[in-house]
């Protein structure tokens, strides 16, 4: 076990008076550490430090800030075992799941934002020819750091979905306070230790451990909020942000559909269905949550998926390559998974693989495949967020599309066909923020491709230009160099100048035929 244990102590503001939160290893049931639950006055103190530190950090060049991020990247490379140990031990996920996303995503993101932040945030010149009132003036868009960024994270990816969102905020010149999930706070504390060792000035990045009350207190102090979690809490968070009139970006739940057309590469589609529904124990906001298969290939697809899922090894991770599917990280989540499977079975679904909580130590739910499902069942309409794969037979892709869009969610989706033109055409009709053709989830690694939900799956995006500009204040500059003593539209109004202006407007906008 890594050294972020017992008394996780890199937390500033831990006055010791606050209640402590025990951190459990979900794969073994052991308590592996405790962290403080910060009270509102301690959050206020963190915010004060953050605001004190931010101007000097913002005054550095992109290159200088990038240097700290590059150092952190090297730190991650040098400390890979320790990082993966902390993530696996507090989440119960496999080494491979921790390596691919929490580690792999973040180590790449540090370099990406170090390199790209300047380009995304460079001053932009916009043309002034579109209105005579501003013609010839210099028009500039500037992206200034917003100040203090609050990030509230979930438990499913303790580094990627928490610290990962802090990186562009730091690159943009902000200070950041991260409130990790109370279920998995140790990874974020390790990231704070890393940033400190890599020379980030004190106060620029701080971790505020605690539960929802600590998160609510944080919203009272920040200038912008990035939240990842449930739709229910997302609504609460947005109300609090509205009270303060601060921008708020939300990445919430999903019920991502997979549409398998009859001409798909079935082998690849079946491998992908098993992997993208079960990786990270299915606890992925962009997990394949439901599948629609065109009738001619349904039986073949189900047989392949069933074989794949039956072969999965599950248990407490005991090193690299030891198991395929890990534990259920969040205690109440296993009740949700059980409830969804039982509800489906009661309404006529058949379980082909799994279908039970595993007895013994740790919190595990068997990788589960269900068929004969329909939209009256929770497993097809509510986020399950577990190792389940319900598969539904459809007459054609049009029906699949109708069912795919029959949801309040709209995070991601995938379409599988050898006819990529048709696949892309179908993808454009899916109501989701991201749609992959012959792929799933991997778009998250494309850091220059925005990712965010439609409908109840969220607001705003991470990644790409919008993923860093959301941590800035846009300032527009208009600079006039050469100008007459008095412009045509200024006082005093006169008949002659008004008529001249009117002729100009008619000349500019009144020519040409209209249909
Ligand atoms: O999320 P919450 P939970 C989904 C998944 C899961 C469900 C609930 O379906 O079953 O969400 O998970 C903090 N003000 N996802 O209960 O409550 C909280 O401390 C400010 C999808 O963990 O949304 C934690 O840090 N903050 C998701 C964070 O919000 C508050 C990943 C998320 O908690 C708060 C995980 C408040 N009032 C679960 N209340 C995804 N999109 O990837 C709580 N928090």
* 108-125: pLDDT as tens digits: 999 999 999 999 999 999
**Distance between CA atoms of 17 and 34, rounded to whole angstroms?**
14
Cis before 492 (ω within 30) = yes
- Segment 319-368, tens digit of pLDDT: 899 999 999 999 999 999 999 999 999 999 999 999 999 999 999 999 99
The rounded Å distance from CA 253 to ligand 1 centre is 9
For residue 401, name the pLDDT band (cuts at 50, 70, 90): very high
Q: How are beta strands 224-228 and 205-207 bridged, if at all?
A: unpaired
428 in helix, strand or coil?
Answer: helix
Give the span between the Cα atoms of 315 and 324, in whole angstroms: 8
Ligand 1 mean position, distance from CA 228 (Å): 7
**pTM for this model (two decimals):** 0.95
Using CA positions, which residue lies closest to atom 4 of ligand 1? 230
Ligand 1: which residue has its CA nearest to atom 13?
212
Looking at residue 216, what is its pLDDT? Answer: 98
Q: Other CB atoms closer than 10 Å to residue 73's CB: what's the count?
A: 20
| pLDDT the model gives residue 218 | 98
Q: Is the pLDDT of residue 420 over 60?
A: yes
User: What phi and psi, each to the nearest 5 degrees, are found at residue 294?
Assistant: -65, 140
β-pairing, 368-371 with 388-394?
A: parallel
Ligand 1 centroid to 385 CA: how many Å? Answer: 12
* Mean pLDDT within 234-246: 98
Count Cβ atoms within 10 A of the Cβ of residue 292 and give its class: 0-12 exposed, 13-18 middle, 19 or more buried.
buried
C-alpha pair distances (Å), 204 with each of 189, 215, 282, 455: 14, 18, 34, 34
Distance 329 CA to ligand 1 centre (A): 13
Distances (CA, A) of 163 to 102, 171, 227, 461: 9, 13, 12, 16
**Chain-centroid distance, C-alpha 104:** 15
C-beta 355 within 6 A of ligand 1: no
At residue 11, does pLDDT exceed 80? no
CB neighbour list of residue 9: distance below 8 Å, 6 or more residues apart: none
Task: For residue 455, give both structure tokens.
Answer: 């409908």
Q: Under a CB-based contact definition with an 8 Å cutoff, are residues 377 and 399 in contact?
A: no
pLDDT at residue 3 tops 80: no
Ligand 1 in reach of 211 Cβ (< 6 A):
yes
Closest CA to ligand 1's atom 38? 229
141 C-alpha to center of ligand 1: Å?
A: 35
Tell the residue nearest (CA) to atom 22 of ligand 1: 154
Determine the pLDDT at residue 515: 82
Whether the pLDDT of residue 472 is over 70: the answer is: yes
pLDDT reading at 9 higher than 90: no
Residue 277 Cβ inside 6 Å of ligand 1? The answer reads no
Which atom belonging to ligand 1 lies closest to the Cα atom of 285? 42
Rg (CA), the chain: 26
Judge whether 365 and 386 are in contact, CB under 8 Å.
yes
Q: Reduced to 3 states, what is the DSSP secondary structure of residue 37?
A: coil
Q: Would you please indicate which residues are annotated as catalytic (active-site) residues?
A: 251, 285
Q: Quick one: average pLDDT of 267-291?
A: 98
Mean pLDDT value of segment 50-79: 98
Judge whether residue 18 has pLDDT over 90: no
* Mean confidence (pLDDT) of the chain: 95
Output the pLDDT for position 292: 99
CA–CA dist 471, 362 (Å, integer): 39
Q: Is 91 in the pocket of ligand 1 (CB under 6 A)?
A: no
Give which of 285, 287, 265, 263 is closest to 277, Cα–Cα: 287
Condensed to tens digits (0 to 9), the pLDDT of residues 156-214 reads: 999 999 999 999 999 999 999 999 999 999 999 999 999 999 999 999 999 999 999 99
Mean pLDDT of 92-110: 98
Nearest CA to ligand 1 atom 25: 181
Q: Is the pLDDT of residue 15 over 50?
A: no
Taking the CA of residue 332 as reference, the ligand 1 atom at the shortest distance is: 10
3-state SS, residue 178: strand
Q: State the Cα–Cα distance between residues 255 and 385, nearest whole angstrom.
A: 9
Q: State the angle between helix axes of 186-197 and 62-78 in degrees (0 to 180), rounded to the nearest 10.
A: 120
**CA–centroid distance, residue 231 to ligand 1 (Å):** 8
**C-alpha span between 349 and 344 (Å, rounded):** 5
Residue 145 pLDDT: 98
Would you say residue 394 has pLDDT above 60? yes
In ligand 1, which atom is closest to the CA atom of 228? 41
Residue 238, token pair as written in the block: 């947005």
One DSSP character per residue, 314-337 reads BSS--STTS-SB----SHHHHHHH
């Amino acid at each position: 076990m890594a050294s972020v244990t017992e008394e996780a102590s890199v937390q500033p503001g831990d006055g010791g008076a606050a209640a402590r939160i025990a951190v459990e290893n979900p794969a073994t049931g052991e308590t592996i550490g405790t962290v403080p639950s910060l009270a509102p006055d301690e959050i206020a103190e963190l915010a004060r430090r953050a605001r004190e530190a931010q101007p000097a950090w913002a005054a550095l060049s992109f290159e200088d800030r990038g240097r700290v991020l590059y150092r952190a990247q090297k730190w991650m490379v040098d400390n890979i075992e320790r990082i993966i140990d902390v993530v696996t031990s507090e989440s119960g996920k496999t080494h491979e799941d921790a390596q691919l996303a929490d580690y792999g995503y973040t180590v790449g993101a540090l370099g990406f934002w170090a390199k790209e932040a300047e380009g995304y945030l460079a001053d932009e010149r916009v043309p002034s020819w579109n209105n005579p009132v501003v013609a010839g003036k210099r028009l500039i868009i500037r992206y200034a750091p917003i100040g203090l960024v609050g990030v509230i994270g979930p438990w499913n990816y303790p580094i990627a979905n928490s610290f990962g969102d802090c990186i562009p905020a730091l690159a943009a010149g902000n200070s950041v306070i991260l409130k990790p999930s109370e279920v998995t706070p140790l990874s974020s504390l390790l990231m704070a230790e890393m940033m400190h060792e890599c020379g980030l000035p004190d106060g620029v990045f701080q971790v505020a451990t605690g539960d929802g009350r600590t998160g609510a207190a944080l919203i009272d102090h920040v200038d912008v909020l990035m939240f990842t979690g449930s739709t229910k809490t997302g609504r609460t968070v947005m109300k609090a942000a509205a009270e303060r009139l601060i921008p708020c970006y939300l990445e919430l739940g999903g019920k991502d559909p997979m549409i398998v057309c009859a001409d798909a590469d079935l082998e690849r589609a079946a491998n992908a269905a098993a992997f993208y529904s079960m990786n990270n124990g299915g606890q992925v906001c962009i997990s394949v949550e439901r599948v629609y298969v065109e009738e001619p290939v349904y039986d073949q697809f189900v047989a392949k998926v069933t074989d794949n899922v039956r072969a999965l090894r599950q248990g407490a991770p005991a090193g690299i390559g030891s198991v395929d599917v890990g534990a259920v990280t969040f205690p109440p989540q296993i009740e949700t998974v059980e409830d969804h499977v039982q509800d489906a079975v009661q309404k006529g679904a058949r379980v082909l693989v799994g279908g039970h909580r595993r007895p013994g130590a740790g919190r595990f739910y068997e990788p589960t495949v269900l068929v004969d499902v329909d939209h009256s069942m929770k497993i097809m309409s509510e986020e399950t967020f577990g190792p389940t794969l319900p598969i539904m037979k459809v007459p054609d892709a049009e029906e699949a599309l109708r069912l795919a869009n029959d949801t309040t969610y709209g995070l991601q989706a995938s379409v599988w066909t050898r006819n990529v033109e048709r696949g892309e055409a179908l993808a454009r009709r899916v109501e989701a923020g991201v749609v992959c053709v012959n792929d799933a989830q991997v778009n998250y690694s494309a850091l220059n491709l925005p990712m965010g939900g439609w409908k109840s799956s969220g607001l705003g995006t991470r990644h790409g230009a919008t993923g860093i500009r959301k941590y800035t204040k846009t300032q527009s500059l208009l600079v006039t160099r050469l100008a007459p003593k008095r412009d045509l539209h200024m006082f005093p109004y006169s008949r002659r100048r008004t008529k001249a202006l009117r002729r100009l407007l008619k000349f500019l906008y009144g020519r040409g035929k209209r249909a």
